[in-house]
Structure 1
Amino acid sequence: MYPKALKDLMDNLEKLPSIGEKTAERLALYIISELDREDANLMADSIKNAIDSIRPCKISNILTDQEISPIVLDETRDHTTIMVVADSKDVFMMEKMGTYHGDYHVLGGLIDFSRGITDNDLNIESLTKRINSDLKELIIATNGTVEGELTAQYLKSLYEEKQIKVTRLAYGLPVGTDLRYADVLTLIKAVENRQEY
């Protein structure tokens, strides 16, 4: 029904997260019929350029277009603190907040035995190399999922003997949440992580 080139475009768009068959069809038709040829070529070039130039930082594993991430090289940041996250998306989200000024380390995933992902598949060895006498705090900022908790516990067990403070991001109720609509685990974590008021 569709020309082969259009069908190929739709199939490739469908590989993107949250893009189903209908959305892929709509996007493909927009690209070929409504998007200016120059803009479409710029989009294709930017995808190719990103794939060719973006890579993990040699120290922190943050996605960057340089050998070492500007965050690692920034002397105004607090390099005595490292926040450990699952992937670079987490770093970019934290940076949008503008309130954390320490360093980061990207694990490249979470321990997930059901998918065959173990600690050996993560960037833990490179994290261990970064732990020295200057480091004061390691913030574990993995998700509150089973995989995130398992990874956090593993990291805690690895580094609790070192002379550094190992902390975990707090969980709890989102601002504006009605207690009646919170799930039990969220309420438990909110009570456990309560602070002096």
Structure 2
Amino acid sequence: MSAPSDIDTLIEMMARLPGLGPRSARRAVLHLVARRESQLAPLARQMQQVAATARECARCGNVGTGEICPICADSARGNGQICVVEDVADLWAMERSGVFKGRYHVLGGTLSALDAVGPEDLRIPQLLERVAEEGVQEVILALSATVDGQTTAHYIADALDGRAAISSLAQGVPVGGELDYLDDGTIAAALTARKSF
């Protein structure tokens, strides 16, 4: 027996979300339907609210509810540092650490010849403008250690052409990592970036 068409449609829509396949989406929808008043209705209202108010920060590309996000609006964070990330999820991961106290710039992806993503498809021109306008002294490239991530990092470094100091996140053995479980590239990066003990 199949579910009613509107429930099937909801399952199909949920299955398109990252991390959810058809089976997980079906379980989630059935769970919500069984708890319509306590979970489904409030979730639907909140999703409508977010759909109406969410917007991209005009300065950095973060997601918020105003034209400028709280991070960009915080004058204490204007310390001359910009951390460049690929997407909003990376920005939020950096914020969870509580260590970085500067501002961010979300590129919206990485350069990719295979996917025909060039500099004009990312927020690289806006980054260059911000570096000039905001008196940025350091640009921290927090991009993936993939070919596309590193290609993007090199492109940005060349485009900045000495307008600010450029640094990148350290790479290597993660905290709690065991060498036996790491790939060769991670071990090589860790050995190259070693420091005095």
Q: TM-score, normalised by structure 2?
A: 0.94
Deviations 1:66-96 (A, max 9, x none): 1111111112224300000011111111111
How far does residue 160 in structure 1 lie from its aligned partner after superposition? 3.0
Amino acid at match of 1:155: I
In structure 1, distance between residues paired with 2:49 and 2:113? 35
Corresponding residue for 1:67? 67
How far does residue 184 in structure 1 lie from its aligned partner after superposition? 0.6
Q: Which runs of 5+ in 2 are unaligned?
A: none
| CA contact 1:54–1:63 (8 Å) conserved in 2 | yes
Corresponding residue for 1:45? 45
In structure 1, distance between residues paired with 2:180 and 2:79? 41
| CA contact 1:160–1:166 (8 Å) conserved in 2 | no
In structure 2, distance between residues paired with 1:196 and 1:73? 39
How far does residue 29 in structure 1 lie from its aligned partner after superposition? 1.2
Corresponding residue for 1:105? 105
Say what the alpha-carbon RMSD is for the aligned residues: 1.4
| CA contact 2:54–2:65 (8 Å) conserved in 1 | yes
In structure 2, distance between residues paired with 1:77 and 1:176? 31
Aligned length: 195
Amino acid at match of 1:22: R
User: Identity across aligned pairs (percent)?
Assistant: 30
In structure 1, distance between residues paired with 2:38 and 2:6? 18
Q: TM-score, normalised by structure 1?
A: 0.94
How far does residue 161 in structure 1 lie from its aligned partner after superposition? 2.9
Corresponding residue for 1:114? 114
Matches within 5 A, 1:87-98: 87-98=87-98
In structure 2, distance between residues paired with 1:186 and 1:22? 34
How far does residue 47 in structure 1 lie from its aligned partner after superposition? 1.2
Q: Which runs of 5+ in 1 are unaligned?
A: none
Corresponding residue for 2:12? 11
* Segments ≥4 residues shifted beyond 3 Å: none
